[in-house]
Structure 1
Amino acid sequence: MNETDLTSVGDEVETGQLDEDDRLKPEFVRAVLDAVEAGDDEAARSLVEPLHPADIADLFELTPNERRGDLAKAITDLLDGDVFAEMNDYVREDLIDSLSATQVADIASELDTDDAVAIIEDMEEDDQRAVLRALDPDDRAAIEEALSYPEESAGRLMQRELIAVPEHWTVGDAIDYLRGHEELTTDFWEIFVVDPGHKPVGTCQLSWILRTPRTVSIGDVMKREQTLIPVDMDQEEVALRFQKYALISAAVIDAGGRLVGMITVDDIVHIISEEAGEDILRLSGAGEGDINEPIALTVRTRITWLVVNLGTAMLAASVVGLFQGEIAKFALLAVLMPIVSGMGGNAGTQTLAVVVRALATNQLTSSNTARMILREFRIAAANGAMLGILIGMGTWLIFGNSDLAIVIAMAMVMNNLVAGLSGVLIPVSLERAGVDPAVSSAVFVTMMTDVMGFFCFLGLASLWGLGG
């Protein structure tokens, strides 16, 4: 956000549109919607006009679905590309559906290629073709090329608007070029230096150009070491490279090594936030977790994993059924066995969260997997021993049965070891099998801790003769 944007936000706070956390106040949203409902479009526009594009996007997200169309009609002249670029995906799709192909094309033409692609890529195929036909040839060619790359790849994420100059130019040549061509992009932090085959050979920050005499060659001032992003690289891997090497922008290259675009850090901030939230929600089986997601899609996503969980719960119940005779003779087993499985599930979830994060950030690789397994085994053993002592003492004090106390303490230790090993081995195995560990691991870890928790506790109780 530049200085003008910060000033705008400050003005919004002072005029009462935003609260202290930079969120639109409920009374402001009501005032806008009341003006729209009353047919006073001029009043609605006057209220919304001072807002930053991101806050206008928030306004639409806070507006009920059935009233967004009316709001859009009332403030049509304020709905530019910057607003759509900031908008939630589902909300944007609803509004895009209500616009003509020409209107969508006008919005897309105002945006950088990556933002335009984000608007167009989720449209129906027929609508997509209509929008592309309405674009001018240069914009259409750039967007069609971007759409040819896999989803969530660098090719979809990159923007084509960049500055590239040859190595033999001087700093003065570069400055004259930047000043003499009004059609060049205005948002960039560094200049890419290319060879005659348009392959990047280095980068030159704007600060270096501004502080270097005009007669110095670009080749003498540029930095030759650079991080190049293959056009088909997954966006999560791109984000990791930006994080690892503290990048502001990076060149994107095609299969032949030619410069085809660049990715900037503002796009990466969005990706990091998106991927982090996505992994957490996948662990719970909640899908995308977007409150603007259609209810039918949310139900379909959640019920899939709830059915899988139902199957694993029935498997755990079948293990309990093997020991129904012991439970019938010694009812305290039924009272205490959920503690063993529940604590194992909690321990497994802790390990799983750490491992999935380590896999996502490339901290856990094939070179240190064995060390990670040993580490979590030691942690599980220590936690299991402490929990076993506590539950054993508590059981003895409450129920006065030393045999039962020993059995539940041993079961607690064993199930914690199972939880620790499952929390590492399951996501690592899924990741090596090409399956996203954030999606499936939780179900299998829970199944292991439930089944083994019941089996260890009831099996030991049977061997110990508690049900006799």
Structure 2
Amino acid sequence: MSETEPPVPETDVAQLDEDDRLKPEYVRAVLDAVHDGDDEEARALVEPLHPADIADLFELTPHEDRADLANALTDLLDADVFAEMNDYVREDLIDALEPHQVADIAAELDTDDAVAIIEDMEPEDQREVLRALDPDDRAAIEEALSYGEETAGRLMQRELIAVPEHWSVGNVLDYLRGHEELTTDFWEIFVVDPAHKPVGTCQLSWILRCPRNIAIADVMKREQTLIPIDMDQEEVALRFQKYALISAAVVDPAGRLVGMITVDDIVHIIQQEAGEDVLRLSGAGDGDINEPILLTVRTRLTWLVVNLGTAILASSVVGLFQGEIAKFALLAVLMPIVSGMGGNAGTQTLAVVVRAIATNQLTDSNTVRMIVREFRIAAANGASLGIIIGVGTYVIFGNPSLAIVIAMAMVINNLIAGLSGVLIPVTLDRFDIDPAVSSAVFVTMMTDVMGFFSFLGLATLWGLGG
């Protein structure tokens, strides 16, 4: 165990399972103590937990019991617990606290964590909390709130160490030891010029190993990755991932150092963004099990209504061929296979392309190559599936014409699915529309419509309904 990690109490063995999750019987024991009014017992059970585990305890507690649990554990609900808590659960608890209590919690947190607590509050409650803060804390949080959501300005923390480039290593060490108000959590020191523009970074390990008389300018690394204050948090995460950063300086439009972003924040962003894309493809919204039911219903219903519209469009295509279907009922039996397999193929391609766009793997320089690649894959898969379904249809129904028609339709719809899975998200991305949100609906519509149209159209041309 590293020296920076807090010791794990032995009593945690009885509270956590082999996957470091709170055991159901432990959660029940805590809630039973709360229901019985035995706050001391509840605190004794919870006190050994890490702040992240206390946050998990609140997330595992039913909504109607969280306020009682919070009242029982008042002394243990510190800033670290709120920083680890799920957004929806945290909002529940924040709503139950007085503004001065929220201000006390925010004052103990880094700016980025304090902003995360305050930004979703009602405007009036937000103003009361800000008024209860110290002037310096209030100014820092108000400045952060002035930047757009999900930008580096919201994500960054202002607590950092910056020193002038003319200092020596000894000057830096004396500065760090002589100012107790400095932040204690940092990995790098930023070196700035007289205009407060970053000119380099210096790791703590370098400073500790150098003689005091060495100039900091001779120790620092001049190559650094600077983060514009208005950069989207997803782009920030990609830079951290690409360049293996531990921390990075955030600069304003004039190039001045205004904050820093650390990798612990980026881990949350990467997890959040990855989950968002998957959930948006399905139209499930945030997909958080703690999200209010009405909000979940509204989010999912919106996309289900859109899907209903595309389903009606697909059924109207089937209606064009109802005469042929009435004459040859096997068409109605087999046509869902063509559209369904096309939808699955389109979803596969769509997932790959959306991920490639999100991670900057797909750019203007390789878009055409990606389209050709997916077309070749779709052709190979379509031909393979066409042969399988064609042979199967002939064996089962003994109709060679029907077998040929469904095989050809399978190839056509797979090609449509492959091209749609690439072209639709790429086109939406060109118009600055999030492809993860809208692509699935259009791809499904294309594969359903073209699946029915190709199969029934070919059947009509072949005279199967005659």
Compute the TM-score of the two structures, normalised by the length of structure 2. 0.99
Q: CA deviation at 1:157?
A: 0.2
Contact 1:13–1:19 (Cα < 8 Å) also in 2: no
* 1:431 equivalent in structure 2: 429
Give the Å deviation of 1:448.
0.1
Aligned counterparts of 1:362 and 1:441: Cα–Cα separation in 2: 18
Alignment of 1:107-118 (within 5 A): 107-118=105-116
- Alpha carbons 2:12, 2:48 under 8 Å: kept: no
Deviation at 1:366, TM superposition (A): 1.1
Superposed counterparts of 1:68-467, under 5 Å: 68-467=66-465
**CA distance in structure 1 between the aligned counterparts of 2:306 and 2:34, rounded to whole angstroms:** 46
Q: Is the 8 Å Cα contact of residues 140 and 158 (structure 2) preserved in structure 1? A: yes
Q: CA deviation at 1:3?
A: 4.3
Q: Give CA deviations for 1:38-70 in whole Å, capped at 9, x if unaligned.
A: 111111101100000000000000011111001
2:10 equivalent in structure 1: 11
- Deviating beyond 6 angstroms after TM superposition, the runs of 4 or more aligned structure 1 residues are none
Deviations 1:213-260 (A, max 9, x none): 111000001000000000000000000000000000000000110000
Q: For 2:56 and 2:308, how far apart are their aligned partners in 1?
A: 38
Looking at structure 1, the residues matched to 38 and 2 of structure 2 have their Cα atoms a distance apart, in angstroms, of 33
Structure 1: runs of 5 or more not aligned: none
Q: Does structure 2 conserve the Cα–Cα contact (< 8 Å) formed by 1:12 and 1:18?
A: no
Offset, 1:409: 0.3
Q: CA deviation at 1:376?
A: 0.3
What is the alpha-carbon distance in structure 2 between the residues aligned to residue 70 and residue 5 of structure 1?
Answer: 31
Q: Partner amino acid for 2:348? A: Q
Output one character per residue of 1:375-427: Cα deviation in whole Å (capped at 9) or x when no partner. Answer: 00000000000000000000000101100000000000000000000000000
Q: CA deviation at 1:434?
A: 1.1
* SS of the residue 2:248 aligns to: strand
Residue 227 of structure 1 aligns with an amino acid whose one-letter code is T
1:76-116 deviation line (CA, Å, top 9, x unaligned): 01000000000000000000000000000000000000000
SS of residue matched to 1:315: helix
Q: Deviations over 1:178-204 (max 9, x none)?
A: 111111000000000000000000000
Listed one character per residue, the Cα deviations across residues 306-353 of structure 1 (whole Å, up to 9, x for unaligned) are: 000000000000000000011001100000000000000000000000
Unaligned runs of 5+ in 2: none
Matched position secondary structure for 2:286: coil
Residues 242 and 221 (structure 1), Cα distance of their counterparts in 2 relative to 1, 3 Å cut: same
User: Is 2:119–2:145's contact at 8 Å kept on the other side of the alignment?
Assistant: yes
SS of alignment partner, residue 252 of structure 1 = strand
C-alpha distance in 2 between matches for 1:344 and 1:79: 52
How far off is 1:13 after superposition? 3.6
Q: Deviations over 1:145-187 (max 9, x none)?
A: 0000000000000000000000000011101111111110000
The TM-score normalised by the length of structure 1 is: 0.99
Q: What is the deviation of 1:6?
A: 5.3
Q: What amino acid is the match of 2:352?
A: V
How much does 1:4 deviate? 5.8
DSSP 3-state at the match of 2:7: helix
